[in-house]
Structure 1
């Protein structure tokens, strides 16, 4: 294995192994306690009647979702002058997804780690990799908010919005307004942002030789240049947005499949709200939001679609099997491939 391959392995194990193990343990204990509180027997009975054809369809939908997002990523990379064969890049994307899903808080800020994986597995620089990853994530936010707005709009037509959904509804609204605003402000006042970051780096640089103000300035300039190149091809970005929307459809579909697997017909419009809303719970400090997403799904499903909390938990568990654990399995295999070819 080359030095870069060893560096990737060391980075992935030394930085995250202990936190990941603790995170999984805490999440599993939490889920067990939730199941005990709702009735383990009731949850088990619901799961025992699962139709595995729908479970398989949900897994297939997750694979299509990641493949579509990988294609959007490839388009963004091509804009910055990096042409990676899709067959190679989609494996890298699955591996990066695995790294993101096993890293605590990865869902809330795994872009630097994913950019690290991409830069080590392709000819892309870290700055171009980070710019492409952040751009692709921002493009994915468009369908995220679009689908959430449609679902939320349907709920708002009801006499009253269920109390359990109000915090997540306000959270979605805040993100819909805040993230684009912060992104635009960060770009418009990029010189001020650059100066502020360098002021923060200066005292750190005085204490260690590993960080320098000049080096940080060069990296920031390269990153802004990469963002500038991405913005120069709006037609390619529109094409990437199209794949982002396709990916989000397949990202939401597994919840519908999970309901069908257990004999529950969840309205597609409900799915469009519940999936984005539950994704906010992915920001809890466990791998992939494990525990938090399931709890949010139970609360949302009980509030808008299902009376039985035990059945809602069973659906949440099936959904996470096809959307999270399946992605971990496929992504883990891809990660081994990436490490081997590094």
Structure 2
């Protein structure tokens, strides 16, 4: 099983390298290097600070959700755990969908909590993070439509229409799923029980769980989700931290253009950052290559005559270089530390 996961990750990174090669070729390698060479290091430093602020704010969201579930961690430990969560998302195919099981394992090890409760915590945080991203994108689209005659640009109009559709469709699906959660829970138990037992039967030194044990764990996951949803005050704190974290990401992209001496409207970042984040569901590890490509296409579709192909790609390289690699490096160290059995207990809870 571990070998299959490693093979999928290696193939995913290989595909990401191919996508980056095409993207850099599109911009022109020589011109791209010249553009990156004139980047202002002061602005690049601000991009890094904005990235660290984003990580800190989203770790506050994780800390708040864990608190609702009765798991007490210090903010420092939560920051390191969230960095580890981002690392697992960035090195597994399908982004958060592939990284959540690993993240839940990290949380359960650090916090000494049940796995299903840890999985419910990170799943709740990921869901909460979606809400402000779409809201901010709609704000940016509204500003764009009023100030820059958005309807004149068909490509960007399609992207904004997709945001509006998601803003309507996803909450509707969540509402229907919540209303029918007990029926959904029963179907998940029915569908996953034979799969889990079959996988466990093939793994050495892993006891095959009983159907009752599997049902108890799945129900524990759903009860944890209900517990999070029934605490409006803490949810508001988590949403506020998530929204501010998104703003830091968008500010980081705006600062990346500033590093190249190009002035763009912040509303551009409000639109393109959350739309591009959707590309994280691709089989590429953490959406690497896919997110960058979508960002470049959206930026070139926007009415920004001063943004050429090399400038767009260079700004995205600076932005994503910080947003992708900073948590990957920090989180990789954390994951290795936890995996070694040392744990984070010395940092405090």
The answer, yes or no, to whether TM exceeds 0.5 is: yes
Q: TM-score, normalised by structure 1?
A: 0.89
Indicate which of 289, 296, 299 corresponds to 1:298. 296
Structure 2 partner of 1:4: none
Compare 139-148 and 167-176 and name the one that shifted more. 167-176
Choose from 24, 28, 32 the match for 1:39: 28
CA shift digits 1:122-160 (9 cap, x unpaired):
122112112211222222122201110011112333151
Displacement of 1:193: 0.7
What's 1:194 paired with?
185
1:203 deviates by 5.0
Q: Which string of whole-angstrom CA distances, capped at 9 and with x for unpartnered residues, describes residues 82-132 of structure 1?
A: 111222222111111111111111234532332122112212211211221
Equivalent position of 1:138 in the other structure: 127
Cα 1:194–1:317 change in 2 (3 A) is same
- CA deviations on 1:187-220 (whole Å, 9 max, x unpaired) are 2112211222233235547856535432332122
| Structural mapping, 1:269-308, within 5 Å | 269-304=267-302, 305=304, 306-308=306-308
Match for residue 219 of structure 2 among 218, 221, 232: 221
1:308-327 alignment, distance < 5 Å: 308-327=308-327
Matches of 1:333 and 1:205, distance apart in 2: 30
Does the 8 A contact of 1:258 with 1:318 survive in 2? yes
How do 1:110-125 and structure 2 match up within 5 A?
110-125=99-114
Asked whether the equivalents of residues 42 and 311 of structure 1 are also in contact (C-alpha less than 8 Å), the reply is no
| Matched position secondary structure for 1:110 | helix
Give the aligned partner of residue 234 of structure 2: 236
Q: Does the 8 Å contact 2:151/2:157 carry over to 1?
A: no
Q: Which residue of 1 aligns with 2:337?
A: 337
Aligned partners of 2:135 and 2:167 also within 8 Å: no
Q: Sort the Cα spacing of 1:233 and 1:206 in 2 relative to 1 into closer, same or farther, 3 A.
A: closer
For structure 2, the residue ranges without an aligned partner over 5 or more in a row are 202-207, 344-349
By how many angstroms is 1:165 displaced? Answer: 2.5
Equivalent pair of 2:150/2:156 in contact (CA under 8 Å): no
Inter-CA distance 107–135: structure 2 relative to 1 (3 Å threshold): closer
Secondary structure class of the residue paired with 1:198: helix
Partners of 1:80 and 1:128 within 8 A in 2 = yes
Report the Cα offset of residue 15 of structure 1: 5.0
Please say which of residues 211-220 and 228-237 is displaced more in the overlay: 211-220
Which residue of 178, 183, 187 maps to 2:169? 178
Q: CA RMSD in A?
A: 2.1
- Alignment CA distance shift 1:35-1:231 (3 Å): closer
User: Once the 2 structures are TM-superposed, how far is the Cα of residue 163 of structure 1 from its aligned partner?
Assistant: 2.6
Q: Is the 8 A contact 2:89 2:286 kept in 1?
A: yes
User: With structure 2 as the length reference, what TM-score do the two structures score?
Assistant: 0.88
Alpha-carbon distance change, 169 to 112 in structure 1, aligned in 2, over 3 angstroms: farther
With over 3 angstroms needed to count, the CA separation of the structure-2 counterparts of 1:167 and 1:214, relative to structure 1, is: farther
